[in-house]
A = this chain, B = another copy of it.
Amino acid sequence: MVVYSKKITIKTKKKLDFVRITDLVRQAVKESGVQDGIVLVNPMHVTSSVYINDNEQGLIDDFKEFLEKLAPRDFNYHHHLTGEDNGFSHLWRTIMGREVVVSVQNFELELGRWEEIFYAEFDGERSKNILIKVLGE
């Protein structure tokens, strides 16, 4: 059994950003030497998401409008009583999900034709860690 861990750091220039990380995860899978198994990918933060969907800018714009409709940025959240101003970030991350678990086959990520792994940042402009964990043989 092989267990391999890697952390990557992302610092987006914008408060909100969607970054395709499929190749970074693919690279970690290669480094692990795992032929057959799974890989877990998650941010180590509570205001961002790792999710899988289409790599298409229009869809990313749709995600932003959809999230804004469900949990508006400009709203006086209870969480703001702590001095924070990122209540929406916590809710957006909840909608988009925290983590993905993906199959590894023949030393490669086993993704469908349109499946791309994204890091969605909802409170950026600072360094954030993404954890990649590969298990298998």
Contact of A77 among B40, B58, B131 (CB under 8 A): B58
Mostly, the A contact residues are: mixed
Interface contact A94-B51, CB-CB below 8 Å: yes
Count copies of this chain in the complex: 3
Interface contact B115-A131, CB-CB below 8 Å: no
User: Does A36 sit within 8 A of B, measured CB to CB?
Assistant: yes
Interface contact A95-B94, CB-CB below 8 Å: yes
User: Does A126 sit within 8 A of B, measured CB to CB?
Assistant: no
Mark contacts of A59-70 with chain B using CB atoms, 8 A cut-off: 1 yes-contact digit, 0 otherwise.
101110110001
User: Does A136 sit within 8 A of B, measured CB to CB?
Assistant: yes
Q: Complex formed: what's the CA distance from A16 to B57 in Å? A: 25
User: Does A91 sit within 8 A of B, measured CB to CB?
Assistant: yes
Interface contact B101-A99, CB-CB below 8 Å: yes
Q: Given A36-B3, A101-B99, A112-B43, do A135 and B136 touch, yes or no (CB 8 Å)?
A: yes
Q: Given A38-B133, A115-B44, do A78 and B62 touch, yes or no (CB 8 Å)?
A: yes
Q: Which chain B residues border A111 with CB–CB below 8 Å? A: 44
Q: Complex formed: what's the CA distance from A40 to B5 in Å? A: 17
User: Does A71 sit within 8 A of B, measured CB to CB?
Assistant: yes
Contact of A40 among B46, B78, B103, B133 (CB under 8 A): B103
